[in-house]
Amino acid sequence: MRHMRRFIPIVGLAVAQLWPAGATAQSADHLELVALTTRSPGADSPANTIPFQAVVNYQLQSTSNGFLLLFLFENTSTSSTRQSSAQVPVQNGAGKATMNIDYALNPEVRSLTLMIALFKTEDKLLTWVSTTPIDLAPWPGRAAFDKAMAARLALDYAGAESYLSAAIQASPETGNYYYWRGDTRIYLNHYDAAIQDFSRSITLMPEDRASRVGRGISLLWKGDPEPAVADLTFAIDHSINPDRVTAFAYRARGTANATLIHSAQAITDYQAYLAILPDAPDRAEVEGWIEDLTRD
């Protein structure tokens, strides 16, 4: 009965606005930055590294061949501190290119600007496009968080716990990190520690129903069904439309009510769970629980 919250990777970095390209409106050479995201960090990547990936559409008309470079500008600097490791060659015509660059976080750097430039030769710039400055404030802990999610997928919950602890140390006011460490600690049977994490995530995100379900399940597995019912009921009552969080709350509350020998309430909860998730993989098992409770 482990609670699994659906993970929606938060790897997209929105480009709110693009600075105009360096070429004039009459120029046939053109660049358009269409996507800027972060890649999943490698297993050996430092925890403080942001691996950017940029996708650009290009139009090259003034010459037969050229190349693209990706540059980084820190804070308000007018000089690039980094450029991509290799030129990306392009041919005359239109196309799309993907460019990668890793950036190691620096506590003195508050913003980054990424620029992609199209060159004819080393000293002949044809056109360019750039992001507005990217605020790095939300980034502390993100690389460690991504590694934690990868570790969870590999069922390495001890490793995931370690990475999440690093993420929390870097960003102690990010409620989502506490949620995921609490969820991870359930798998490690560290229920008291999980309860502390969920309580912290609830403090930071008071309306987060998934955190209530997580704490309720932790309390249930610890052997405290009554406070578990309170948390699980909160998650159910604050559901506008029944979803998977609601379903898991009903399932867990059914077990809590069964433990408290509230058979009728447990049956109702289990039936609600199956009504929301008619294709639940444990349907036969839950139906067996309902049958057993009916006999009591």
CA atoms within 13 A on the CB side of 38: 24
pLDDT at 136: 74
pLDDT at 267: 97
Architecture of domain 142-295: Alpha Horseshoe (1.25)
3-class secondary structure, 52: strand
Sign of the dihedral through C-alpha 5, 9, 10, 14: negative
pLDDT at 139: 65
Contact 93, 78 (CB under 8 A): no
pLDDT at 199: 97
pLDDT at 137: 65
CA distance 179 to 200: 8
CA distance 53 to 201: 30
Going residue by residue through the chain, which has 296 residues, state the pLDDT in tens, using 9 for 90 and above: 333 222 222 222 222 223 333 433 335 899 988 888 765 555 455 556 777 888 899 999 999 999 999 988 888 887 777 666 578 999 999 999 988 888 877 767 878 888 899 999 877 899 998 888 887 766 668 778 888 988 999 999 999 999 999 999 988 888 889 999 999 999 999 999 999 999 999 998 888 899 999 999 999 999 999 999 999 999 999 987 888 899 999 999 999 999 999 999 999 999 999 999 999 999 999 999 999 999 86
pLDDT at 84: 64
pLDDT at 211: 93
CATH code for residues 18-135: 2.60.40.10
283 token code pair:
């349907």
- The DSSP-derived string for 161-202 is HHHHHHHHHH-TT-HHHHHHHHHHHHHTT-HHHHHHHHHHHH
pLDDT at 54: 86
- Note the pTM of the prediction, 2 decimals: 0.58
Identify which of 250, 265, 39 has the alpha carbon closest to the alpha carbon of residue 150: 39
CA distance 138 to 141: 8
The domain ranges of the chain are 18-135, 142-295
pLDDT at 6: 26
